[in-house]
Chain A
Amino acid sequence: MSRISGAIHEMQTIEESASRDQWVNRLHPLVKFLVTLFYLVCVVSCGRYDLPRVLGLALYPFVLFELTDLPLGQALCRLRLVLPLVCIVGIFNPLLDRRPGAELLGFTLTLGLLSMLTLMAKGILTVLASYLLVATTPVEGLCAAMRMVHIPRMIVVEFLLIWRYLSLFMNEVQKTTEAYRLRAPGQKGIAMKYWGSLMGSMLLRSIDRAGEVYEAMCLRGFTGDFPSGRFPGAGRRDLVYLAGFGAGILFLRLFPVLVLIGSIVAR
């Protein structure tokens, strides 16, 4: 399977996973959206050297991965393009800030190193939490949730259309590269001189197709709003999820669980 086919397949797998018939998929999208948003705020608001607290917050995605049967390894594999970028953030901090910050097993950790590790952990956790949301909620559900919290319609529609456009564009890339490969056997990749025209034609074709998809949506009554009929009011199960996970995340944010456990063990 080519890299493009692989990417298309992975995107389809995420979409399929979002429409599985599992308890977490059946939860109201607004509830999942709010819990994820709250989690992201909690992670991002941790201090720049507060690594133990951030690591404590890792419990949320791990618990959810366990409860939803979504394979963590596969998720990390799917996020392989984003995670290195996340990890690069703050890579120079250890060189810039060499003041001692903490001791671990007799080694002194500098503040620069601590801030780099904290940033990396924050990045990984926010990406994992967002992945969990996308992998358990169909894109229409996400859009409906965004509209329910009054995110402007234009932004939500833009998000939906970009999501749809991405797969169309990838399909066009796949078709074009396959057509090229078949007529250039033995060649590795696409020759530099063809990149301009290939990119141009791929863009034009995918824009045409995106236009037709948008027309098909409009012809079936799409006006930019997301009918709430499909997502009736939140039920008891949704409220339990909201209260339970909300309280759990707040607890992890307020109390550095790892430090507490460490001090109990040390005693």
Chain B
Amino acid sequence: MSHIHIEVKDLSFSYGQDRKILDRISFTAREKDAIGIIGANGAGKSTLLKLLVGLLDGFEGSIRVEEIPVEKRTLQRVREKIGYVFQDADNQLFSVNVYDDVAFGPRNYGLPEEEVDRRVRKALARVHLEGFDEKPVHRLSGGEKKLVSIATILSMTPDILLMDEPSAALDPRNRRNLIRILGEFDHLKILTSHDLDFIWDTCSRVLVLHQGGILYDGDPDTILRDEKTLAMVGLELPLSLTVR
């Protein structure tokens, strides 16, 4: 059995006094898992990802990342292990050119400039954006921005990759490219998406969030063919399964 990377136990969270977004959910994620989290809008998918990296506090229960409890004093250690790709690449990229943005993380960890340079080139090569290093970020297309935002995370060599709606606003070619890149990342990855075809192509396990809890935790083949359950949580069959 492979090593447990993330352990969530009885996790509850609500924004202010509102209803609980997450209500006593528990699950574990192992080293090579590729987990897709699906659910309707407002089901708590993005909230769950933000909780895992400590962007939200004030939760009940416990989250452990590689045995480290997620709390204020451990955030830096936790974040060294997890890479988080935001839904909107524009919010993730803030430097003038691609090189500086991809180098931002390694530099903050105090790596020597030669190592930073090696990591930047390797990360850009992994997303097939060699030669983009001097390009101004604001001149990139939406797909290129998404790939650069993944490179900014890969340059930090994380053990775990979290991605919030990675396929949103990607054209078919960039989407295929992203599926290939995710396939090459052989560590734990957790994605949230409404794009069930994308989940089908990239994940080996699916969690369905519904009314604050986990309605289903298992293989994608079963749940993504289950029209009734999907309809109950406000989703539809993947397009590739839809009979026209």
Q: Give the residues from 67 to 85 in chain B that come closer than 8 angstroms, CB to CB, to chain A.
A: 76, 79-80, 82-84
Q: A221-B76, A229-B116 are in contact. Are A209 and B91 (CB under 8 A)?
A: yes
Considering the complex, give the chain A residue whose CB is closest to the CB of B115: A229
* B contact residues around A216 at 8 Å (CB): 86, 91-92, 94
Considering the complex, give the chain A residue whose CB is closest to the CB of B101: A220
A230 near B96 with CB under 8 A, answer: no
* A contact residues around B13 at 8 Å (CB): none
Interface stretch of the complex, out of B21-29, B103-111, B175-183, B228-236: B103-111
Q: A212-B86, A219-B55, A219-B84 are in contact. Are A227 and B107 (CB under 8 A)?
A: yes
* A contact residues around B156 at 8 Å (CB): 220-221
Counting chain A residues whose Cβ lies within 8 A of the other chain, the interface size class is 20 to 34
Considering the complex, give the chain B residue whose CB is closest to the CB of A11: B138
A217 at the interface (CB under 8 A from B): yes
Contact of A19 (CB < 8 Å), options: B76, B96, B111: B96
Contact of B100 (CB < 8 Å), options: A138, A212, A229, A232: A138
B136 near A12 with CB under 8 A, answer: yes
* B contact residues around A15 at 8 Å (CB): 96, 136
Distance in angstroms from A182 CB to nearest chain B CB is 20
Distance in angstroms from A134 CB to nearest chain B CB is 12
Q: Give the residues from 183 to 232 in chain A that come closer than 8 angstroms, CB to CB, to chain B.
A: 209, 212-213, 215-223, 227, 229-230, 232
B171 at the interface (CB under 8 A from A): no
Contact of B79 (CB < 8 Å), options: A12, A221, A229, A232: A221
A138 near B91 with CB under 8 A, answer: no
A220 near B91 with CB under 8 A, answer: no
A221 near B105 with CB under 8 A, answer: yes
Considering the complex, give the chain B residue whose CB is closest to the CB of A21: B134
Q: Give the residues from 9 to 39 in chain A that come closer than 8 angstroms, CB to CB, to chain B.
A: 12, 15-16, 18-19
Distance in angstroms from B240 CB to nearest chain A CB is 32
A215 to B46, CA, bound (A): 14
A19 to B94, CA, bound (A): 14
B107 near A215 with CB under 8 A, answer: no
Contact with A along B204-234 (1 / 0, CB 8 A): 0000000000000000000000000000000
B172 at the interface (CB under 8 A from A): no
Q: Give the residues from 92 to 131 in chain B that come closer than 8 angstroms, CB to CB, to chain A.
A: 92, 94-97, 100, 103-105, 107-113, 116
B55 near A215 with CB under 8 A, answer: yes
* B contact residues around A227 at 8 Å (CB): 107-108, 110
Distance in angstroms from A166 CB to nearest chain B CB is 12
A140 at the interface (CB under 8 A from B): yes
Q: A12-B138, A212-B88, A229-B110 are in contact. Are A219 and B94 (CB under 8 A)?
A: no
Contact with A along B40-58 (1 / 0, CB 8 A): 0000000000000101000
B108 near A222 with CB under 8 A, answer: yes
A229 near B91 with CB under 8 A, answer: no
B152 at the interface (CB under 8 A from A): yes
* A contact residues around B108 at 8 Å (CB): 220-223, 227
A120 to B86, CA, bound (A): 47
B107 near A213 with CB under 8 A, answer: no
Given A222-B104, A227-B110, 18 extra CB contacts under 8 A: A19-B97, A19-B100, A140-B95, A209-B91, A212-B88, A216-B86, A216-B92, A217-B94, A219-B79, A219-B83, A221-B80, A221-B156, A223-B76, A227-B107, A227-B108, A229-B112, A229-B113, A230-B113
Show 14 A/B contacts (Cβ-Cβ < 8 Å), sorted by A: A138-B100, A164-B94, A209-B91, A212-B91, A213-B94, A219-B55, A220-B153, A221-B105, A223-B76, A227-B107, A227-B108, A229-B111, A229-B112, A230-B113
User: What is B's interface to A at a CB cutoff of 8 Å?
Assistant: 53, 55, 76, 79-80, 82-84, 86, 88, 90-92, 94-97, 100, 103-105, 107-113, 116, 136, 138, 152-153, 156
